[in-house]
Amino acid sequence: MLIVLDTSAVTRDARFETFVRDTLDRGSRVLVPRLVLVEVAHRYQRESVAMIEALTVQARMYDRLGLRDDLSAFVDAARAKADGYVDSLARQLEAMGCDVIEPAYTSHLEVAARELQRRRPYVDRKRRGYTATVNWLTVLDIADRRPSEDVVWVSANSRGFGSGEPGAWHDEIWAELQDRGLDHRLRWVTGLDDVDLRDTGLPRRERVSVPIAAPPAAVPAPPSAVAAPPSAVASPPAAAPRRPVVAAPPPRSPLVVSDPVVPPVAQTPRPRVAPQRILPSANADTGGRRGIGRMRGGRKRKVTVVEELDDLDFG
């Protein structure tokens, strides 16, 4: 099985290292396109620039603490690491056992045609999907050149590849796979946790679980089926010693589990509060300080607060 990782699947943590180690132990391979490394490096550079800007804002504080030289050395080291992050990440992945592969040879006309036609993984409204298209063509090229291998594409780009359901291809992607004859060998998952290394290779809509029948128990041959040798002299059978008969224990009565007893909920009667009358304010036009609102027509109105509707008196 060949597992190809997108930008969203490449992380630097213990979970990613464990996944790569388990995959290699099961005989599968982990492939990372080089364009994915470029995208990861771009994300790292943006985070590095934001961190450097946040540090340089507090430059005066570092001056007071006498750490200006240390800050400058740290910023220079961060910039140098960001510049060479692609090669550094490639060496780390290869040391873990991953294979860094080059993009598939694709003409610019093919990519431009897919963009003009808004073919997936290009989205419908915005023409964003150049890198996703190049990575997708690389995955198709890998599947075409390895006809005996199952390929799993790990990408969180559900808008470009999915149809709204987890693990289900978009109709355009599914039609393209059927045209290439890859609908049975190329699958898509959104995360590393969804990769099943014990998968059968069939698409999800055609998988059928077949139960494994237990082997029949061996039945010993009856004693009469074994022929006695002709030279054997018939002798009366010796009386076998009788074994003491042990009475079988009485059957156990089924364990009856009674339903748990739920204590009744005590109903606390709600106290009834007598209606309270709020006297109008001195200024009937503005409502004064009580916030009753502006009185229309200068008339005085009575406001009564009740606890329940039963306390209303319509008389």
pLDDT of residue 109: 84
Q: Where are the alpha helices (DSSP H) in 58-170?
A: 59-65, 68-83, 85-96, 108-116, 130-145, 158-161
pLDDT of residue 285: 54
Residues 43 and 181 in one domain: yes
In a domain, 27, yes or no: yes
Binned at pLDDT 50, 70 and 90, residue 80 comes out as confident
More confident position, 240 or 96:
96
More confident position, 313 or 217:
313
CA distances from 172 to 109, 120, 209 (A): 19, 7, 28
In a domain, 257, yes or no: no
Residues 197 and 277 in one domain: no
Terminal CA-to-CA distance of the chain, rounded, Å?
A: 84
Q: How many domains does the chain have?
A: 2
In a domain, 229, yes or no: no
Q: Are 31 and 101 in contact (CB under 8 A)?
A: yes
pLDDT of residue 299: 59
pLDDT of residue 5: 95
Q: How far apart are CA 99 and CA 138, in angstroms?
A: 14
pLDDT of residue 98: 94
pLDDT of residue 205: 38
pLDDT of residue 264: 57
In a domain, 103, yes or no: yes
pLDDT of residue 200: 44
Residue 296 has pLDDT above 80, yes or no: no
Rg (CA), the chain: 39
Residues 301 and 190 in one domain: no
Note the pLDDT tens digit of each residue in 16-64. Answer: 999 999 999 999 999 999 999 999 988 888 888 888 888 777 777 777 8
pLDDT of residue 49: 83
Q: Are 291 and 266 in contact (CB under 8 A)?
A: no
In a domain, 53, yes or no: yes
pTM confidence score: 0.57
CA 190, 192, 198 angle in degrees (round to 5)?
Answer: 105
In a domain, 143, yes or no: yes
Choose one of 150, 174, 203: the last residue of a domain.
203
Residues 280-295, mean pLDDT to the nearest whole number: 51
Binned at pLDDT 50, 70 and 90, residue 81 comes out as confident
In a domain, 214, yes or no: no
Q: Is residue 168 classed exposed, middle or buried when 0-12, 13-18 and 19+ CB atoms within 10 A define those classes?
A: middle
Residues 53 and 185 in one domain: yes
- Token look-up 């209303």 returns 312
For residue 97, give the nearest of 10, 50, 31 by alpha carbon.
Answer: 31
Residues 205-209, mean pLDDT to the nearest whole number: 37
Binned at pLDDT 50, 70 and 90, residue 84 comes out as confident
CB atoms closer than 10 angstroms to residue 86: 19
Choose one of 180, 203, 226: the last residue of a domain.
203
In a domain, 185, yes or no: yes
Residues 95 and 13 in one domain: yes
Q: Which helix (H) or strand (E) holds 189?
A: strand 186-189
pLDDT of residue 187: 93
CA 36, 37, 43 angle in degrees (round to 5)?
Answer: 95
Residues 170 and 86 in one domain: yes
Q: Beta partners for 5? A: 154
Residues 197 and 281 in one domain: no
pLDDT of residue 251: 58
For residue 5, give the nearest of 182, 203, 188, 204 by alpha carbon.
Answer: 188
pLDDT of residue 213: 39
Q: Burial code of 278-308, b = ≥16 C-beta within 10 A, e = fewer?
A: eebbeebeeeeeeeeeebeeeeeeeeeeeee
Residues 186 and 96 in one domain: yes
Residue 221 has pLDDT above 70, yes or no: no
Q: Is residue 197 classed exposed, middle or buried when 0-12, 13-18 and 19+ CB atoms within 10 A define those classes?
A: middle
Residue 131 has pLDDT above 80, yes or no: yes
Q: How far apart are CA 87 and CA 79, in angstroms?
A: 14
Residues 189-211, mean pLDDT to the nearest whole number: 61
Note the pLDDT tens digit of each residue in 227-277. Answer: 444 444 445 555 555 655 555 555 555 544 445 555 555 565 555 555 555
Q: Is residue 42 classed exposed, middle or buried when 0-12, 13-18 and 19+ CB atoms within 10 A define those classes?
A: middle
Backbone dihedral angles phi then psi of residue 309, each to the nearest 5 degrees: -70, -25
pLDDT of residue 62: 77
Residues 302 and 198 in one domain: no
pLDDT of residue 144: 93
Q: Are 42 and 188 in contact (CB under 8 A)?
A: no
Residues 44 and 183 in one domain: yes
Q: Are β-strands 29-33 and 186-189 bridged in parallel, bridged antiparallel, or unpaired?
A: unpaired
Segment among 132-136, 140-144, 308-312 with least mean pLDDT: 308-312
Domain that holds residue 300: 273-315
Binned at pLDDT 50, 70 and 90, residue 15 comes out as very high
Choose one of 181, 203, 225: the last residue of a domain.
203
- What mean pLDDT is reported for the chain? 74
Residues 194 and 76 in one domain: yes
